[in-house]
Structure 1
């Protein structure tokens, strides 16, 4: 079975973010042939077309290269004001510039964690629209919304203490591995013949 290289983006920059804890949970329960590396995007500036005219800033160029090389992307994000956090949207906007943008044909899984009861459901719907526009391949099911998340992760260690949440994320990561393989097979079968 092919090893899968997955990169993760956390929609919150807070070190103790519930969504960073969701990434850690995914790393704990992922299939044995999958590796998940969380990427640091704190140095990405606000998108500025004048700056882009001089090329990608170094942090953006490095992220584009790393995401393009990965088999897939996991996004764990909170919901801010009923939608996508501004920083995460800015990151996607930077990454999506240019014909060689790294989301093209890339399998993506989404998880959201929130102290509220909906678990970030609205951010996932908006994020899916953006991902479809950049031609990503979002995993449809199972969806994972971690509502009441403050009570589901240990306040000091960040470990998931809720068996149901652990089970949901385990099933999602197994489905994600299958989805990555399916997308790769599809892309392999439709790849143009090389001369």
Structure 2
């Protein structure tokens, strides 16, 4: 799995997220190696990925996620990883633009970081309101992915990874990060001229 940047999270107020159940989700089996830590499963799904699109078009994807820890979760990092086997290893991002709609403000924002390996990350800004998700609540984040005329044609693979960095907010207000079990979904589409 791709490396993740882990930031120090700030305890903040809950974001006003809509309680909608997604049409597609996957779940992983929960288990925990620590007896005092809750067993956590993160369920993830997305919709809006077409079977094919043309250069110059945009995917409007909604990524859904839900955790079952029994505690609120501070979602600290959202990522989307994409690759195309036709793209050279050092240029998978060529011609691809990603933007994220902040669940806190509703504003569309550029990624906080873009890795050369084809991963676009967005982090809620430190010092401001953060994304806090109650247990057993389906939260979502909207992502736009645009492919210009220079993007590589052919079969693309897209892996949405919401809350890939997280902390649980314990009853005393402290933050803990026990192991989380997740099966990241993988979607494919074909980019044509």
TM-score by length of 2: 0.27
Structure showing the higher strand proportion among its residues: 2
Greater RCO (CA < 8 Å, at least 6 residues apart): 2
